[in-house]
């Protein structure tokens, strides 16, 4: 094998792996990323049903209901709009009414959301960054930042 051939093979293989990696990343970015939306986004943007997304906001006071088999329903609000969320499973330790929450799942109606993951963060004072910004946008929360 000549030096030139070797170089060609090197470049070829590096290129192949590169194409593979970039392809994988692009494909994954296309399908697997999840957008973050606030209740107002959901109401105003007319998002398609069934699309995966993260919904963030405050758990509305007094909206939490519990049903059989660890099913829960609650409302997420940003002050301006409200979306009803259903979820089956164990809520995180820090899930509270009036506190920030992020729900991941899909839209099942104009203002209805079915979550398969609920995130509440591990610090009482902590407001998930996205939630804080959404709420600030709606003028609900005046955090100490």
Partner 1 sequence: MIAELGHFALILAFVMALVQSVLPMLGAVKRDARLMAIARPVSIHMFLMVGLSFAALTYSYLVSDFSVANVVQNSFSQKPLIYKISGVWGNHEGSVLLWVLILVFFGALVGAFGSNLPAPLRAATLAVQAWVVSGFLLFILATSNPFERQLPAPIEGNGLNPILQDIGLAIHPPLLYIGYVGFSITFSFAVAALILGRLDAAWARWVRPWTLLAWVFLTLGISMGSYWAYYELGWGGWWFWDPVENASLMPWLSGTALLHSALVMEKRDALKVWTVLLAIITFSLSMLGTFLVRSGVLTSVHAFATDPQRGVFILVLLCLFIGGSLSLFAWRAPLLKQGGIFAPISREGALVFNNLFLTAATASVFVGTLYPLALDAFDGTKISVGAPFFNLTFGPLMVPLLLVIPFGQSMAWKRGDLLAVAQRLYAAMALALVLALVMLWSWGADNILAALGVGLAVWVMAGSVSELWSRGKFSSVGPLKGIRRIVGLPGSAWGTAVAHFGVGVTVLGIVSATAFQTEVVLTMKPGQSVDVGSYQVTFDGLSPATGPNYIEDIGRFTVRKAGVVAGTMTPSKRVYEASRMPTTEAGIMTSGVSQLYLALGEIHQDGSLDIRAYFKPLVLLIWLGCVVMAIGGGLSIMDRRLRVGAPTPSRRRQTSSSGTAGTSTSGAGTSTGAGS
Which of the residues 48 through 77 are near partner 1 (CB under 8 A)? 54, 66, 68-70
DSSP per residue over 52-91, as a string? EEEEEEEEPTT--EE-STTEEEEEEE-SS-EEEEEEESPP
Cα separation of 55 and 80, whole Å? 14
Q: Which of 1, 45, 46, 50 binds partner 1 (CB under 8 A)?
A: 1
CB-nearer residue toward partner 1: 122 or 142 = 122
Question: Residue 121, interface with partner 1 (CB under 8 A)?
Answer: yes
Which of the residues 86 through 105 are near partner 1 (CB under 8 A)? 88-91, 93-94, 104
Cα separation of 81 and 137, whole Å? 12
Binding mask 21-50 for partner 1 (x = CB under 8 A): x--xx-xxx-xxxxxx--------------
CB 30 within 8 A of CB 12: no
Q: Minimum distance from CB of 25 to partner 1 (Å)?
A: 5
CB-nearer residue toward partner 1: 4 or 46 = 4
Q: Residue 73: CB partners within 8 Å, gap ≥ 6?
A: 63, 64, 65, 67, 84, 85, 86, 87
Query: Which residues make up the interface to partner 1 (CB under 8 A)?
Result: 1, 3, 6-7, 9-10, 12-14, 17-18, 20-21, 24-25, 27-29, 31-36, 54, 66, 68-70, 88-91, 93-94, 104, 121-124, 126, 128-130, 133
């Amino acid at each position: 094998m000549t030096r030139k051939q070797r170089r060609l093979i090197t470049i070829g293989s590096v290129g192949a792996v590169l194409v593979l990696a970039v392809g994988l990343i692009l494909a994954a970015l296309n399908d697997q990323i999840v957008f973050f939306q606030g209740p107002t986004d959901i109401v105003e943007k007319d998002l398609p049903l069934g699309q995966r997304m993260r919904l963030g906001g405050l758990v509305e006071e007094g909206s939490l209901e519990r049903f059989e088999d660890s099913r829960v329903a609650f409302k997420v609000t940003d002050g301006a709009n409200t979306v009803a969320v259903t979820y089956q499973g164990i809520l995180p330790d820090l899930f509270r009414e009036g506190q920030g929450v992020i729900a991941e799942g899909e839209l099942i109606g104009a203002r209805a959301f079915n979550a398969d993951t609920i995130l509440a963060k591990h610090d009482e004072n902590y407001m998930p960054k996205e939630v804080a910004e959404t709420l600030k946008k709606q003028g609900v929360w005046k955090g100490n930042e």
